[in-house]
Structure 1
Amino acid sequence: MKAVNVSTNTWASALKKMAVAAVGVATMLGLAAPAVAAPPSGSDSVRVVGGIPAAQGEFPWMVRLSMGCGGTLYTRQIVLTAAHCVPQTGPNSRITATMGVVDLEDPSAVRIQSTYVYQSPTYGTSTGGDWALIELASPAPEELGTLPIATTTAYNNGAFDVIGWGAAKEGGPQQRELLKAKVDFVNDDTCKAAGGFYAGLIPSAEICAGNIPAGSTDTCQGDSGGPMFRRDNNNAWIQVGITSWGEGCGRDGKPGVYTEVNTFAAAIAAARI
């Protein structure tokens, strides 16, 4: 979440992508504990339109983290996720990374414990930086591969793919099956014009995507840390964003906001973990 002078209730409502209440996450991970605002009246009718089940093996580098976030295999032993999903930098063996399946109850799932967490040192500052790295106790199976990240703004356009095990509607339950959907690039001026938190968008650190003005297609609670990605010039997947925040899920005129990966690519590559 960007550094803004707001109440803790408002702050928590903007970081809407986490799977569990912020108080619960705070207790588990040692974070500050803002209260979470309740979903607005009638929010149960707000659905992530276009979300369909992903096929087994379609996105092999996708990871589910035990605190209720998503992530991707940056390397076979390092998961890239959102800074707001993790505690401060340091040793951490309490996170379980589940991978290799679309069904979280599939007995063939690979599960590896964390050993260390690196949280972006600029997270929460005026320059943004909602990204983090999680070191695993052992490498992921080679066949799962990795997801490269963008190092330029060349792919900050067009349609993106988003995936996750998060809620299929605002305030809804987490999903057992991995879902995928398409979202469209939203330019900075249009995103800022959505008002509220969006007026404070950090253009160099954040990128918006969704369906403007109708809403409907979006990431939701539990999708934090997961990738926003597209095909590169060689038709290979490349990660452009990290699911970060937004007002609600799929609300009219309220796009999702993602960490702009290319801005932090050098810092991610240089992180000592």
Structure 2
Amino acid sequence: MAGRTLSLLKRSDHRNSGYRSSAFKRAAAVGAVALATVSLQPVAAHAAPVPIVGGAPAAQSEFPFMVSLSMGCGGALYKKDVVLTAAHCVNGSGNTTGITATAGVADLDGPGAIKVRSTKVLQAPGYDGHGKDWALIKLSRSIDLPTLKIATNTRYNRGTFTIAGWGDTRENAGTGSTRLLKAKVPFVSDRRCKQRYGGRFVAGQEMCAGVPRGGVDTCQGDSGGPMFRKDDSGAWLQVGIVSWGYGCGRPLVPGVYTEVSTFASAISRAAATL
């Protein structure tokens, strides 16, 4: 494992994008898609998680709302033709056919994958690499799979959460996983998270989760994917978006996730414009 001096990295992996960047967070680079109305210059970001560390293979159809994005990020079906992901996974807002969303399979190399191109991206208004880490991707057609509803209040921002993704299985692996992996992580209080991250952590916009002993975490390639749990009715509910963190699976270093409930109204309004 790399030393503690490793910089923050976003938890996206744009190794297939052709970009080279010195991003801080758990991403190797930021903004891997070509948008018609935005600059294509990569920009620095802050920390993010990598593909699932310490995870187990998810069963086919266990999380049917999961989406793999071609720029090396994850996401979830917010609507049948809209994917919710992280703002640092895209390079602004505008029209683009440069993203392919893959859904319907736990094994990306297996049969039955549904592949749909994007038509538009909407990045969180005012996103500057610090907080507000959400974005929407409009698809060229609907995907006939279950969507993942999002939390609209903080009621479920506690307890134990599920994380899932196709990211790296260890820090700095750089390979990702073709199999969807899953893991459980407990909530970490804002106070404890600030002890680790200080002013980089944006309370009210971000939340933390992680196993104190380490060994379980999101990692590069997991950015944009959902952190979710069951609500009182037993339905899956998204409470977080994989955003950033120091390394992957380090002891006493939780992952940082966009607090979805904070932005639920903004996400709903934005989706209505796509």
Alignment-mate amino acid for residue 209 of structure 1? A
1:56-71 alignment runs, 5 A limit: 56-71=60-75
Matches within 5 A, 1:1-273: 13-20=7-14, 23=20, 25=29, 28-29=32-33, 30-34=40-44, 48-49=53-54, 51-124=55-128, 128-141=131-144, 144-172=145-173, 173-195=175-197, 198-212=198-212, 214-271=213-270, 272-273=273-274
Classify 1:28/1:262 alpha carbon distance in 2 versus 1 (closer, same or farther; 3 Å): closer
Give the structure-1-normalised TM-score: 0.85
Q: Contact 2:8 / 2:46 at 8 angstroms: preserved in 1?
A: no
Residue 13 of structure 1: how far off its partner (Å)? 3.8
Mapped to 1, the partners of 2:137 and 2:58 lie a distance apart of 24
Q: How many residues align?
A: 247
2:67 and 2:75 in contact (8 A); partners too: yes
Alignment-derived partner of residue 24 in structure 2: none
Is contact 1:23-1:35 (8 Å) kept?
A: no
Distance (whole Å) between structure 2 residues aligned to residue 17 and residue 169 of structure 1: 12
Write the distance in 1 (CA, Å) between the matches of 2:46 and 2:102.
Answer: 27
Q: Is contact 1:48–1:217 with CA below 8 Å preserved after alignment?
A: yes
Look up the match of 2:36: none
CA distance in 2, matches of 1:106, 1:218: 25
Deviations 1:13-56 (A, max 9, x none): 4233112356265584324344999xxxxxxxxx922x000000
Instruction: Provide the rounded CA distance (Å) in 2 between the counterparts of 1:123 and 1:209.
Output: 22
Q: Displacement of 1:210 after TM fit?
A: 0.1
Amino acid paired to 1:136:
L
Following superposition, the deviation at residue 248 of structure 1 comes to 0.2
Query: How far did 1:262 drift?
Result: 0.3
Which structure: greater helix fraction? 1
Report the TM-score when normalising by structure 2: 0.85
Q: 1:185 Cα deviation (Å)?
A: 0.1
How high is the sequence identity, in percent, across the aligned residues? Answer: 52
> Could you tell me how far apart the structure 2 residues matched to 1:168 and 1:106 are?
19
> In structure 1, the residue corresponding to 2:172 is in which secondary structure?
coil
CA–CA distance in structure 2, aligned partners of residues 69 and 16 of structure 1 = 10
CA 1:27–1:114 in 2, change beyond 3 Å: closer, same or farther?
A: closer
Q: Tell me which residue corresponds to 2:25.
A: none
Unaligned 5+ segments in structure 1 are 1-9, 38-46
Q: Give the whole-Å Cα distance in 2 for the aligned partners of 1:137 and 1:174.
A: 26
